[in-house]
Amino acid sequence: MSAEVETIILGGGLTGLSLAQYLEGETLVLEAKDRPGGLCRSFVKDGFTYDIGGHILFSRDSELLAQLTGWLGGNLLEQRRNNQIWFQDRFVKYPFENGLYALEKQDIFECLLGFVERSGGDPANLEQWCRFRFGDAIADKYLIPYNDKIWKRPAKDISVHWVERIPSPPTADVIKAAIGIETEGYTHQLNFLYPERGGIEALIHALAKGVNLQTGFRAQSIKKTSSGWQVSDGDQTCSCRRLISTIPVMDLAACLDGAPGDARAACDALQYNSIILVMLGVGHEGLNDKSAVYIPGPDILPHRVCYMSYFSPHNAPQGSSHLVAEITVPPGDPLLKASEDELVGRVAGQVADLCAITPSEVTASDVQKLKHAYVVYDQGYLANREKVYAWLDGLGLYTCGRFGSFEYLNMDQCLEQARGLAAQLNK
Ligand SMILES: Cc1cc2nc3c(=O)[nH]c(=O)nc-3n(C[C@H](O)[C@H](O)[C@H](O)COP(=O)(O)OP(=O)(O)OC[C@H]3O[C@@H](n4cnc5c(N)ncnc54)[C@H](O)[C@@H]3O)c2cc1C
């Protein structure tokens, strides 16, 4: 069987579907899984709906926010963030520098002194950047352990080309936080939008309306023809004039023949992390008082737990509440082979105290493992990425999205990229 269209979009995640909405002309979205959504899928188990880590909608771009609101129609809640950090034996308001008042006096003193005396300078890696921007004490107590944990490598091995996206705290806010005056950090996501029903996947369903989408099509080979491209999954071949890929760039490269050696080697050297999600549901409403807890401590597997029924009460059956724990792992990590029972048992035991639940209260659980979750900005990232995209751009195919462009993008940035590419191609 074969189909021919003007534009084929590989990947039916947020980027692929929004591209199909923004582009003029005939498009076909080819998605490997049996349903679209990619990292914006939500999962339902025993009446509990959870995302791949609570997915909050926010943007500095009011036009984009209006568009999101329009797509979701009335299915939308506006929520206020209540994130906490589990630091040693207590909760500290997120971000850490805005919650200093909750620390022991000696820790407050060290954090404040470190912040005031920070040296500044031109950092060569993420560890140095944390020290230069926040001072040694905030870096050592929280930022470096948390970053080591989420990136699964020392912060000194992470590049700094991207760090300007992390807001800088005003000095006054840090001083106020140290003496107990309330302040807020990361204000661009203090209030966020979230679908009332259906988890973040509701956005995908809204976007998929009217889109020519084929699921169960995993692109395996891509050939350039005189008039465009042919994409095959082994059974079917689809032809198009223009090809846009939003699938992980390493998977795209594997579909193409004739990569120059340096581009192939650079592609193999691109780093990413996978994620394991553990959902725990309890038969009471105890997990409704926070949006998320960040956990820098190395003895607890997850780096973050999101309280999904805080995002929307419809995410849990009445009288219940639940969390989803996020554990990043490098590809091939033995933890990816751990059984569901083992992961649920370990996580339930480790988060029991900080989440004020007992493992025996867990009435529902589920586990998901996803291969491509986080782009890792290691020190070789920029040079490797440049070689890979020089090759792909030279072929005349387009790439877009989190793993398509291999950048650490949030949903709003995926939409911005898709909108920009569509505007360029619609001309
Ligand atoms: C834990 C976590 C929490 C996050 N939280 C937030 C948040 O709170 N707010 C926010 O704005 N963003 C958040 N994000 C980021 C957000 O999920 C992504 O930016 C966005 O979903 C990426 O969409 P995408 O379409 O570019 O990629 P993907 O979602 O990865 O979609 C790619 C699609 O391609 C398909 N595919 C792969 N290979 C093939 C193939 N060979 N053939 C056909 N199809 C293929 C996949 O199945 C997938 O559907 C979070 C991400 C993670 C991992």
CATH 3.50.50.60 domain extents, the chain? 2-38+61-71+200-270+379-426
**Digit-coded pLDDT (tens) for 108-145:** 999 999 999 999 889 999 999 999 999 999 999 999 99
Atom of ligand 1 nearest to the CA of 52: 1
Distance CA 160, CA 231 (A): 37
**Digit-coded pLDDT (tens) for 183-239:** 999 888 899 999 999 999 999 999 999 999 999 999 999 999 999 999 999 999 999
The preferred substitution site among 17, 18, 34, 39 for testing ligand 1, maximizing ligand atoms within 8 Å of CB, is: 39
Tokens describing residue 262: 């340096």
Q: 201, 75 in Cβ contact below 8 A?
A: no
Cβ burial of 61 (10 Å; 0-12, 13-18, 19+) is: middle
Q: Which amino acid is at 193?
A: L
* 47 CB neighbour count, 10 Å cutoff: 14
**Digit-coded pLDDT (tens) for 202-216:** 999 999 999 999 999
DSSP H/E element including 415: helix 411-426
Report the candidate in 15, 416, 404 with the shortest Cα–Cα distance to residue 204.
Answer: 15
Q: What does the mean pLDDT of the chain come to?
A: 96
Atom of ligand 1 nearest to the CA of 56: 8
Distance CA 4, CA 147 (A): 46
Q: Which amino acid is at 2?
A: S
Distance CA 166, CA 186 (A): 8
Distance CA 372, CA 249 (A): 11
CB of 185 closer than 6 angstroms to any ligand 1 atom: no
Residue of minimum CA distance from atom 33 in ligand 1: 11
pTM of the model: 0.97
CB of 275 closer than 6 angstroms to any ligand 1 atom: yes
CB of 49 closer than 6 angstroms to any ligand 1 atom: no
The preferred substitution site among 55, 278, 419 for testing ligand 1, maximizing ligand atoms within 8 Å of CB, is: 55
Tokens describing residue 14: 């947020």
Inform me whether the pLDDT recorded for 2 exceeds 70.
Answer: no
pLDDT of residue 146: 98
What CATH class is the domain 2-38+61-71+200-270+379-426? Answer: alpha beta
Residue 168's pLDDT band (cuts 50, 70, 90) = confident
**Digit-coded pLDDT (tens) for 23-55:** 999 999 999 999 999 999 999 999 999 999 999
Atom of ligand 1 nearest to the CA of 39: 29
pLDDT of residue 1: 47
* Cα 10 to ligand 1 centre (Å): 13
pLDDT of residue 323: 98
Distance CA 266, CA 364 (A): 43
Q: 296, 142 in Cβ contact below 8 A?
A: yes
CA distances from 201 to 50, 51, 57, 204, 343 (A): 10, 8, 12, 5, 25
Inform me whether the pLDDT recorded for 17 exceeds 90.
Answer: yes
* Cα 35 to ligand 1 centre (Å): 13
DSSP H/E element including 52: none
* Percentage with pLDDT > 70 across the chain: 99
Atom of ligand 1 nearest to the CA of 374: 53
Inform me whether the pLDDT recorded for 374 exceeds 50.
Answer: yes
CB of 316 closer than 6 angstroms to any ligand 1 atom: no
Distance CA 42, CA 73 (A): 19
Calculate helix-pair angle for 411-426, 14-22, nearest 10 degrees.
Answer: 30
CB of 53 closer than 6 angstroms to any ligand 1 atom: yes
Inform me whether the pLDDT recorded for 416 exceeds 50.
Answer: yes
* Cα 414 to ligand 1 centre (Å): 9
**Digit-coded pLDDT (tens) for 245-267:** 999 999 999 999 989 999 999 99
CB of 35 closer than 6 angstroms to any ligand 1 atom: no
CB of 38 closer than 6 angstroms to any ligand 1 atom: yes
pLDDT of residue 3: 63
Q: 315, 50 in Cβ contact below 8 A?
A: yes
Q: Which amino acid is at 366?
A: D
Residue of minimum CA distance from atom 8 in ligand 1: 55
**Digit-coded pLDDT (tens) for 310-340:** 999 999 999 999 999 999 999 999 999 999 9
CB of 218 closer than 6 angstroms to any ligand 1 atom: yes
Distance CA 129, CA 122 (A): 8
Q: 26, 5 in Cβ contact below 8 A?
A: yes
Tokens describing residue 34: 């049996």
CB of 114 closer than 6 angstroms to any ligand 1 atom: no
Residue 4's pLDDT band (cuts 50, 70, 90) = confident
Distance CA 382, CA 288 (A): 41
Q: What is the 3-state secondary structure (H, E, C) of 124-151?
A: CCHHHHHHHHHCHHHHHHHHHHHHHHHH
